[in-house]
Amino acid sequence: MTFLGTCGSPRLGLVDETTALALDITALAPDAPADCDALVAGGEHTLERVRTLISSASGSGWLPLESLVLAPPLRRPGKIMAIGLNYRDHAEEQNIEPPPAPLMFAKFASSIVGPEAPVEIPPASSRIDYEVELAVIIGRRGRMISPEAARDHIFGYTIINDVTARDLQRSDRQWVRAKSFDTFCPMGPAVVTVDALEFPPQRDIEMRVNGEVRQRSNTRRMIFDVPTLVSWLSEAFTLEPGDIISTGTPAGVGVFRNPPVFLTEGDVMEASIDGLGVLRNPVTHRPPGRP
């Protein structure tokens, strides 16, 4: 995970869920990565260095997790490649056929916020929706990657809430603006490395709003699984360390409920994936005077 130090600077941490403590990895050595961005960019050599530091760490350096301000695990990825209609139940709730190939759109990195950061309802929209998604973090550069080689190019996983202005998504006839308002990409709470989960991941995925379950599925129900997405995207783009693939959302989004239900000020979203934690974000209106 990435957390903010006493002066507001980012630091790399290791979460121990059993004890609810976090190890300040950045403090362990002068050459330790400053945050998750540096860890991913450093490749396998840096990851092995961090593992060595962790294994030799003494009892000091552990901090209560609840006392930390968590930042987004990755703050400025080169690309956020998001996939639409990647769960059959999400296509079914729209009464449309699943796509024959992945449906990809971009989401701007300036929309990223971390755990507990408010998601702001902008003046331009009144139909703001949630979408819990498994996010894949690229760890090794590659192009024309085969599905069989996809795992070797993945660093790990985190959670993204693909917040969307549904009215603008419809009126614009494309999705980038509706998906990329400031604060519309909550991410976190941490990164789980690819070796820590089965491949491809088969994990329960859920969204709760004010404690009510709105979405519940499993990542094995994706139409296009993780290795397929990595391979298909790499046919068009060179994938770089730190790039993110947001793999789509299951049924239960607000716009297709009967009647539709959109986010309002005071709501609290909790996006969770088994083994990856819970990404919690409150909802508020953008402060007056802010563009």
pLDDT at residue 60, as a whole number: 75
252, 212 Cβ separation under 8 angstroms: no
Please compute Rg for the chain using Cα positions. Answer: 19
- Which residues lie closer than 8 Å to 240 by C-beta, 6 or more apart? 78, 79, 138, 141
- Which one, of 166, 159, 247, 255, lies nearest residue 207 by Cα? 159
pLDDT value, residue 291: 57
| Residue percentage of the chain with pLDDT more than 70 | 99
pLDDT of 290: 62
**Which residues in the chain show pLDDT less than 50?**
none
Residue ending a domain, choose from 36, 71, 106: 71
270 in the same domain as 138: yes
In the predicted model, what is the mean pLDDT of the chain? 95
Res 57: pLDDT: 86
Asked whether residue 290 is assigned to any structural domain, the reply reads no
34 and 158 assigned to the same domain: no
Domain match, 85 and 150 both: yes
For position 262, which CATH number holds? Answer: 3.90.850.10
Query: pTM of the predicted model, to two decimals?
Result: 0.96
The pLDDT, as a whole number, for residue 8 is: 85
Distance (Å, rounded) from C-alpha 67 to C-alpha 282? 18
**Residue 116 near residue 278 (C-beta atoms within 8 A):** no
Both 43 and 90 in one domain: the answer is no
Six-digit token pair at 253?
Answer: 């989004």
Instruction: List the domain range (segments joined by +) for residue 185.
Output: 80-285
